[in-house]
Amino acid sequence: MEALLLQTLNGLDKGGAYALIALGLTLTFGTLGIVNFAHGALFMLGAFCAVGMNELLTISTKVKDESITFFDAYKEVPILEAKFPVIGPIIVDYSVPLAILITVPLMLLIGWVMERGLIRHFYKRTHADQILVTFGLAIVVQEIVRHYFGANPIPQLAPDVVAGSANIGSWLGMSDNVVYPWWRLIYLVFALVIIAATFAFLRFTTFGMVVRAGMQDREMVGMLGINIQRRFTIVFGLAAVCAGLAGVMYTPILPPDYHMGMDFLVLSFVVVVVGGMGSLGGAVAAGFLLGILQSFAAMNVFKTIVPGIDQIIIYLVAVVILLFRPRGLLGRKGVMDA
Amino acid sequence: MTNSSSKTSLNNFLLMLLVTGVVLAAPIIFEPFGAGYPDLLQRFAIFGIFAVGFNILFGLTGYLSFGHAAFLGVGSYTAVWSFKLLTMNVVPAIFFSVLLTGLFALIIGYISLRRSGIYFSILTLAFAQMSYNLAYSVLTPITNGETGLQLSLQDPRILDAKNIAGGLPNTNFFGYTMNQTNTYEFFGTAYQFNVGYYVCGVVLILMFYIAMRIFQSPFGMMLKAIKSNQTRMKYTGFDTRPYLIWAFVISGMYAGLAGALLSITDPLAGAERMQWTASGEVVLMTILGGVGTMIGPVLGAALIKYLENIFSAINTGELTRMLSWVPEGMQDFAVSTVGLFVGDGWHLTLGLMFMIVVVFLPGGIMEGVRRIARLFSRRKAGPVEPPRATNIATAGEGGA
């Protein structure tokens, strides 16, 4: 029973990341009609925003080390801690949540630049061309990040206050030994909040209404006199922000490295296809579903029946769904059925 | 077809002559570029075969598959198992690799080709990742997981004579060992002629010829028709699935052959060959060279492998030497900026090149060559619509 609960939480956690990335991907695919292979790179950029923020906050200066007395030794101390002995360490400790503050504007900017500079010219080209050019862009972004941050994963730490584990066993009436890391619970809640915010934005604002209309029939919206082009740029920025936020908060769970974009890209496409290309609810549902499936498949119970099932379960599910229900779980009939 | 058949066969003959000449004389031709050594030439040939096969699927039918790396891997593993179980002679290895990869491609193609377009691409992507994960961790008795499949002294090579001498035997083609290199000196430069390279080269010439015949056959025309309008084809009564499956299987077999040759020249098979990003590499090669053209993919493969080996070997010291003509003050700046694109950063160059080709020159190198040729030719006047990377080469252009 405990194992089941833990794995469900693990699955929801991972699923949250998948759902957020897939949400951005579906937004661009449903609204703009663009297949964006650089979306994984946006996730990776978000994660590296956290790394960058950490480096920014820990710009250090040399301070005399009092503990060594026989010669003059200096140690590196972050300026924030040196100048503000009380608040400084707290700020440095909270570098990951604070990174959200720079991630949102930075990802918006990157999304805006990507859309205006490159994606805009590919609306009329075939899907294969879009795939190829965004794949190329993903490689370029990956290499630039690798050049500046190096090829090794750079672990980021969650703030100290939440670095431990929550005693969920006692909340749910189970034994006291059932624990789960606080940060992962926070991540799950965070992902749900962002997803809810995006849905609320799309449902309750005029802009959201235009975007939803554009997803249904882009040409018609243009013919009604609405400047869909500018809306597209903002939608792309929004998708980039979703991916970036997913990345930034995921850093304590998975140390960011330059290759994580490509790894998550395949999974996010599989999620989008299972959920239904163009269906936002489907993308989110499929994200959580596949996350849970992957976690359950990693349990020993299933591994003994079919060894290695955890590696391939997602792809198997994708193949089955693509063959028997090509519009995905919640896709609309007639959209990309061929 | 606007060309008369005799003109086409003359074109074909000249093309084959050119290709044969270049492949056979490659150790001499490429030596001045620093690319004349056996390992690199073997890679040119092997990835040329891979790209030509991929072009049969992507160039003719327009279906973008990300799963060909899996076929490369299957080919490699089969070849190494043939070396372990049967004999060090390369012929059974090639035979079994192509056979097994063809079967594998048949299964994957049968399932994947039930959908088209972006769904097909994602299906092949899913299969490639699945194969990679299986090879890496689940099927380790067969593939030996991370360490890769290697030869060992205890292998029961049934068809070979007993190995009395110590040390691992070499792959051979009826007695000629693959890594035997004869070096000859002409006019002060040493040229290396390697048996392994010539085996790969002859196979390349053969496969190129086969691909050329496929392009110009009625089968090839059906595939081009599928690319241009599949729905209309279905309305006129043609069942497109068998053609697509055959094209997929054939291109898969090419990939398996390339994988087998990789193992023949270096008897080691690793799982990282099967990752989908390796499929991305062959897509790059084909696009760079020119989708749908004959020579394009081979050129693209050669260029990318050349850049991979030569560019990535240029470290800071070499770079400083190469840029020694730059004035003093600018030298450090020049070295550090160009240094971003060579050595470790050559992937960056590759990505940028790829983007530039897809944005500005979707027809690849061959498109560039055609445009330059058009500049010099005064017969055609007026603008011509530039082909897209995924557009069909017109029926009249049966040749390069």
Q: Which two tokens stand for residue A191?
A: 């992902």
From chain A, the residues in CB contact with B126 under 8 A are 266, 270, 315, 318-319, 322
DSSP β-bridge partners for residue B193? B182
Check CB contact under 8 Å for A128 and B64. yes
From the CA of A12, how many Å to the nearest CA of chain B? Answer: 22
What is the average pLDDT value for chain A, to the nearest integer?
Answer: 83
DSSP β-bridge partners for residue A78? A60
Check CB contact under 8 Å for A133 and B119. no
pLDDT attached to residue A32: 81
pLDDT attached to residue A61: 74
User: Quick check: A316 contacting B, CB < 8 Å?
Assistant: yes
The whole-angstrom separation of Cα A137 and Cα A114 is 9
pLDDT attached to residue B118: 83
From chain B, the residues in CB contact with A142 under 8 A are 347, 351
DSSP β-bridge partners for residue B194? B181
From the CA of A181, how many Å to the nearest CA of chain B? Answer: 28
Cβ under 8 Å to B: A residues 101-160: 118, 121, 125-129, 131-133, 135-140, 142-144, 147
In a domain, B109, yes or no: yes
Q: Are A264 and A247 in contact (CB under 8 A)?
A: no
3-state secondary structure chain A: CHHHHHHHHHHHHHHHHHHHHHHHHHHHHHHHCCCCCCHHHHHHHHHHHHHHHHHHHCCEEEEECCCCCCCCCEEEEEHHHHHCCCHHHHHHHCHHHHHHHHHHHHHHHHHHHHHHHCHHHHCCCCHHHHHHHHHHHHHHHHHHHHHHHCCCCCCCCCCHHHCCEECHHHHCCCCCCCCEEHHHHHHHHHHHHHHHHHHHHHHHCHHHHHHHHHHHCHHHHHHCCCCHHHHHHHHHHHHHHHHHHHHHHHCCCCCCCCCHHHHHHHHHHHHHHHHCCCCHHHHHHHHHHHHHHHHHHCCHHHHHHCCCHHHHHHHHHHHHHHHHCCCCCCCCCCCCCC
For chain B, what is the domain count?
A: 1
* For residue A316, pLDDT beyond 80: yes
From the CA of A137, how many Å to the nearest CA of chain B? Answer: 7
Q: Which of helix, strand or coil describes residue B304?
A: helix
The whole-angstrom separation of Cα B194 and Cα B212 is 27
**Stated pTM of the model:** 0.85
* For residue A170, pLDDT beyond 80: no
First to last CA, chain A: 43
Q: How far is CA A267 from the centre of its chain?
A: 12
User: Quick check: B341 contacting A, CB < 8 Å?
Assistant: no
| Domain with B213 in it | 23-294
Q: Which two tokens stand for residue A5?
A: 């609960």
* For residue A107, pLDDT beyond 90: yes
Give the amino acid at B356.
Answer: I
Q: Which two tokens stand for residue B81?
A: 């198992």
In a domain, B314, yes or no: no
Q: What average pLDDT score do residues A20-38 get?
A: 87
From the CA of B115, how many Å to the nearest CA of chain A? Answer: 6
Q: Are A96 and A252 in contact (CB under 8 A)?
A: yes
pLDDT attached to residue A333: 57
A5-19, A287-301, B227-241, B342-356: the lowest-pLDDT one: B342-356
A101-110, A298-307, A321-330, B60-69: the lowest-pLDDT one: A298-307
Condensed to tens digits (0 to 9), the pLDDT of residues A59-103 reads 777 777 777 777 777 777 777 777 777 777 777 778 888 888 889
Residue whose structure tokens are 């000859």: B184
Residue of A nearest to B58 (CA): A128
User: Quick check: A319 contacting B, CB < 8 Å?
Assistant: yes
The residue among B131, B275, B359 with the most chain A CBs within 10 A of its CB, best to mutate, is B359
In a domain, B339, yes or no: no
Check CB contact under 8 Å for A312 and B130. yes
User: Quick check: B232 contacting A, CB < 8 Å?
Assistant: no
The whole-angstrom separation of Cα B12 and Cα B287 is 23
User: Quick check: A325 contacting B, CB < 8 Å?
Assistant: no
Check CB contact under 8 Å for B277 and A315. no
In a domain, B92, yes or no: yes
From chain B, the residues in CB contact with A336 under 8 A are 117-119
Q: Which two tokens stand for residue B236?
A: 């006129």
Q: What average pLDDT score do residues A235-240 get?
A: 91
In a domain, B323, yes or no: no
From the CA of B76, how many Å to the nearest CA of chain A? Answer: 22
pLDDT attached to residue B378: 61
Query: pLDDT tens, position by position, for chain B (400 residues)?
Result: 445 567 778 888 888 888 888 888 888 888 777 777 788 888 889 999 999 999 999 999 989 998 899 999 999 998 888 888 887 788 888 999 999 999 999 999 998 888 888 888 888 988 888 888 888 877 777 777 777 777 776 767 776 666 555 666 777 777 677 777 777 777 767 777 878 888 889 999 999 999 999 998 999 998 998 888 888 888 988 888 999 999 999 999 999 999 999 988 887 777 777 887 788 888 888 988 888 888 889 989 988 888 888 777 777 777 777 777 777 777 777 777 777 777 777 788 888 888 888 888 888 888 888 888 888 876 555 555 565 565 454 444 444 4
User: Quick check: B390 contacting A, CB < 8 Å?
Assistant: yes
The whole-angstrom separation of Cα B80 and Cα B122 is 30
From chain A, the residues in CB contact with B125 under 8 A are 266, 269
User: Quick check: B241 contacting A, CB < 8 Å?
Assistant: no
In a domain, B73, yes or no: yes
In a domain, B246, yes or no: yes
Give the amino acid at A38.
Answer: A
The whole-angstrom separation of Cα A55 and Cα A248 is 14
The whole-angstrom separation of Cα B285 and Cα B303 is 8
User: Quick check: A305 contacting B, CB < 8 Å?
Assistant: no
Residue of B nearest to A119 (CA): B359
Give the residue among B113, B74, B109 at the shortest CA–CA distance from B93. B74
User: Quick check: B142 contacting A, CB < 8 Å?
Assistant: no
Residue whose structure tokens are 């557009």: B391
A135-144, A296-305, B287-296: the lowest-pLDDT one: A296-305
From the CA of A284, how many Å to the nearest CA of chain B? Answer: 19
Roughly what angle, to the nearest 10 degrees, separates helices B218-228 and B195-216? 70
- A128 Cβ contact list (under 8 Å, min separation 6): B62, B64, B121, B389, B390
User: Quick check: A303 contacting B, CB < 8 Å?
Assistant: no
Q: Are B393 and B289 in contact (CB under 8 A)?
A: no
The whole-angstrom separation of Cα B339 and Cα B348 is 11
In a domain, B310, yes or no: no
pLDDT attached to residue B366: 86
pLDDT attached to residue B375: 86
Q: What average pLDDT score do residues A321-330 get?
A: 78
| Cβ-based burial of B334 (10 A; exposed 0-12, middle 13-18, buried ≥19) | middle
Residue whose structure tokens are 């999620």: A271
Q: Which of helix, strand or coil describes residue B22?
A: helix
From chain A, the residues in CB contact with B388 under 8 A are 125-126, 129
The residue among A118, A142, A311, A337 with the most chain B CBs within 10 A of its CB, best to mutate, is A311
ipTM confidence score: 0.82
Check CB contact under 8 Å for B122 and A270. yes
From chain A, the residues in CB contact with B122 under 8 A are 269-270, 273, 318, 322
